[in-house]
């Protein structure tokens, strides 16, 4: 049931994922596999991970997100992590977490801007 708890939606060429406030490790791991499969299946060019609801980003969660972004990049897609809360950003920085190659955006709107505009301008 873990992989049913997080929904992946395709909008145009972009996969959109809204992460729940407090997912367990199994759901986070299952999400990674699901996203990669959908990238291939739908020929997506980008991935937006909306973490605006996420209250706790610990090292396991952050590593899985960073890995997912890296794997998506290897498949030719770009990942934008959107909506990190201030309290989560402060904690993640103190904890020493980084999100690898993933881009970040203040919210989902700007994440989509980043993926569409930058893509068209070849940046």
Partner 1 sequence: MNAEHAGEVRIHSESDIVATRKTVRTAATQLGFGITDVTRIVTAASELARNVFRYAGSGIMRWQALDTGGRIGIELTFEDRGPGITDVEQAMQAGYTSGGGLGMGLPGAKRLMDEFEIASEIGKGTIVTAKKWHGRLGDSTS
Residue 1: Cβ within 10 Å count: 7
The answer to whether 36 touches 68, Cβ cutoff 8 Å, is yes
Only segment of 19-27, 43-51, 69-77, 102-110 that touches partner 1 (CB under 8 A): 19-27
Q: Which is nearer to partner 1, 25 or 40 (CB)?
A: 25
> Within 13 Å of residue 15, how many CA atoms lie on the same side as its CB?
28
Residue 36 in the binding site for partner 1 (CB under 8 A): no
Query: How far is Cα 84 from Cα 90, in angstroms, rounded to an integer?
Result: 10
Query: How far is Cα 37 from Cα 49, in angstroms, rounded to an integer?
Result: 15
Residue 91 in the binding site for partner 1 (CB under 8 A): yes
Only segment of 9-17, 86-94, 99-107, 111-119 that touches partner 1 (CB under 8 A): 86-94
Residue 10 in the binding site for partner 1 (CB under 8 A): no
- Which of 11, 12, 24, 41 touches partner 1 by CB under 8 A? 24
Question: Looking at the DSSP assignment, which residues form a beta bridge with residue 47?
Answer: 15, 79
Only segment of 31-39, 53-61, 75-83, 111-119 that touches partner 1 (CB under 8 A): 53-61
Q: How far is the CB of 111 from partner 1 (least distance, A)?
A: 22
Question: Please, which of residues 66-85 interact with partner 1 by CB under 8 A?
Answer: 85
Q: Report the SS3 class of residue 67.
A: helix
Residue 25: Cβ within 10 Å count: 12
- Which of 86, 121, 122, 123 touches partner 1 by CB under 8 A? 86
């Amino acid at each position: 049931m873990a992989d049913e708890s997080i929904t992946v939606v395709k909008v145009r060429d972009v996969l959109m994922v809204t992460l729940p406030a407090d997912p367990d490790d199994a759901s986070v791991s299952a999400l990674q596999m699901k996203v990669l499969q959908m990238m291939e299946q739908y020929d997506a060019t980008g991935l937006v991970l909306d973490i605006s609801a996420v209250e706790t980003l610990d090292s396991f969660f952050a590593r899985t997100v960073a890995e997912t972004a890296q794997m998506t990049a290897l498949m030719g897609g770009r990942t934008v992590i959107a909506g990190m809360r201030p309290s989560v950003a402060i904690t993640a920085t103190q904890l020493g977490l980084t999100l690898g190659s993933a881009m970040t955006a203040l919210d989902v709107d700007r994440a989509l801007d980043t993926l569409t505009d930058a893509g068209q301008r070849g940046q």
